[in-house]
Amino acid sequence: MRKISTIIIKLTAVLPFLWDKLMFFFYRKAMKECGKGVYMRPSSCDIKGLENLSIGDGTSIPKGSIFFCTEAELKIGRKVVFGPRPTIITGDHRTDILGKHIIDVTVEEKLPNNDLPVTIEDGVWIGANVTILKGVTIGRGSIVAAGAVVTKSCPPYSIIGGVPAKIIKPRFTPEEIKEHERLLGY
């Protein structure tokens, strides 16, 4: 009985993995761009606006990801590392219309600043449970601490964290950045 139980447990992991491989084939086709070596488990993610989603080579999108990029682009660079359950939202609701509930405001009634692109540059590490909101660019090589809520852009090689996120310190000295980028071929 133990052997049968072990086989069944293994099958419960294999079947969803195979389903995700099939789903990802179609997700890749629906995305604006999708690089090589991208890993994603679509059945465990909540992704809206695939036509506005670009993902660079070698990036892994973890289970539990929430990406809402329905009216503005979400661009994720190469070799980006995510912790569990990231949330990225490129849009906002319009809240200034009298006589309408927020949910009743249509896309056509939104203002240009209600939806702004989000860019995560190459080599960024996004910690667990991070939320990134509209209009943010996270500079290459930056680290975002777990639980941060990112509402403003940060320069390359920053370490940021908090609610709202602020720059904690630079990751490298200017000399180290030059050497690091030389070694990476930038």
Q: Hey, which residues are catalytic here?
A: 93
* Best CA proximity match to 170, nearest among 140, 133, 134: 140
Q: Rounded distance, CA 158 to CA 136, Å?
A: 14
Can you give the C-alpha Rg of the chain in angstroms?
19
- The angle subtended at Cα 53 by Cα 113 and Cα 38, nearest 5°, is 150
* Best CA proximity match to 21, nearest among 37, 36, 41: 41
Beta strand segments in 49-116, E: 53-55, 60-61, 66-68, 74-76, 81-82, 87-89
Q: Rounded distance, CA 94 to CA 113, Å?
A: 9
Q: Token digits for 68?
A: 């809402």
CB 120 within 8 A of CB 126: yes
Q: Token digits for 104?
A: 């009743």
